[in-house]
Amino acid sequence: MRGRRVKLLVGGVVILAALGYLVYGGMQSAVVYFVTPTELRAQGADAVGKALRLGGMVEAGSLTWDARTLALSFRLTDGTTTVPVVHTGTPPDLFAEGQGAVVEGRVTEDGTFQAQTIMAKHSEEYMPPRSGEMPAFQKGRYRPEPGTAQAAPPAPSDASGVAY
């Protein structure tokens, strides 16, 4: 009876320890810190190579994208500090200069942020169509102009998505 208890206890402890190790190890390697450009600069060389999320505004006049090579580059700013970001791929639909964006990736030695993913920050706010407004496509551009959308007043309430 006693021997069995001990065995059970040992078994339980081993399983819990393994679980704890899995969780701890996973946390160590998978936690991604969110920083602003200023915070990133303050970290200096310490930040190099760490997985980070960088959030800011896409600086006006900084965005270049080559539709052939898919090379994307722009600068993210928080008003005081600016960080150059490079990425390979198609920018997301709402990504544009003057808009907020969050990028996930790593900083290289030369201070450039190599982004693996780019998330355009946006709200799913309702913009009532103004009279005579054409769908974005017919205005000669597939991605709707954020500027025109922002000028419109937001709807009184918004509820998008389902519970879960």
Partner 1 sequence: MISTLGTVTLTTALVIALYAAAASVLGARTGRPALVASAENGVLTVFALVALAVALMEWALVGGDYSIAFVANNSSRATPLIYKITGLWGALEGSILLWLFMLGLFSVGVVLTYRRDPRPTTRALLPYATAVLMAVVSFFLLVTVVPANPFAPVPGGVVPPDGRGLNPLLQNPGMAGHPPMLYLGFTGFTVPFAFAMAALVTGRLDRDWIVATRKWTVAAWWCLSAGILLGGWWAYHVLGWGGIWAWDPVENASFLPWLTGTAFLHSVMIQERRGMLKVWNIVLIILTFTLTLFGTFLTRSGILASVHAFTTSDIGYYFLAAVAVTLVGALWLLAARGERLRSEATLDSMVSRESVFLMNNVFLVGSCFSVFLGTVFPLIAEALRGVKISVGAPFFNSVNVPIGVGLVVLMGVGPLIAWRRASLEQLRRHFLWPAVTGVVTAAVLFALGVRGGWALASFASAVFVAVVVGAEFVRVARARAVSAGEPFVKALAEVARRNRRRYGGLVVHLGIVCIVIGITASFGFQKSREVALARGEAVDFEGYRIEYTGLVHEQEPHRLVIGARLDVSRDGRSLGTYVPAKNFYEGRQEPTTTVAVRERPSHDLYLILGDVAPDGSHVTVRVLLNPLVMWIWFGGVILTLGTVLAVLPDRKPAHAVAPAALGRLGAVARGRPE
Under the rule (CB under 8 A), what is the footprint of partner 1? 1, 4, 7-8, 11-12, 15-16, 19, 22-23, 25-27, 29-35, 53, 67-70, 88-91, 93-94, 122, 124-129, 135-138, 140-144, 146, 149, 155-164
Q: How far is CA 30 from the centre of its chain?
A: 15
What's the one-letter identity of residue 67?
A: A
Residue 139 C-beta: closest distance to partner 1, Å: 9
Provide the 10 A C-beta neighbour count for residue 54. Answer: 24
Question: Which one-letter DSSP state was computed for residue 45?
Answer: G
Pairing mode, if any, of strands 82-88 and 113-120?
Answer: parallel
- Closer residue to partner 1 in complex, CB, 4/110: 4
Please, what is the Cα angle at 92 between 52 and 40, to 5 degrees?
20
- Closer residue to partner 1 in complex, CB, 68/110: 68
Residue 75 C-beta: closest distance to partner 1, Å: 20
Residue 37 C-beta: closest distance to partner 1, Å: 14
- Closer residue to partner 1 in complex, CB, 109/162: 162
Residue 35 C-beta: closest distance to partner 1, Å: 8
- Closer residue to partner 1 in complex, CB, 67/110: 67
- Closer residue to partner 1 in complex, CB, 30/45: 30
Q: How far apart are CA 105 and CA 74, in angstroms?
A: 14
Q: How far apart are CA 38 and CA 78, in angstroms?
A: 7
Tokens of 86: 């490079």
Tokens of 95: 């990504």
Residue 120 C-beta: closest distance to partner 1, Å: 8
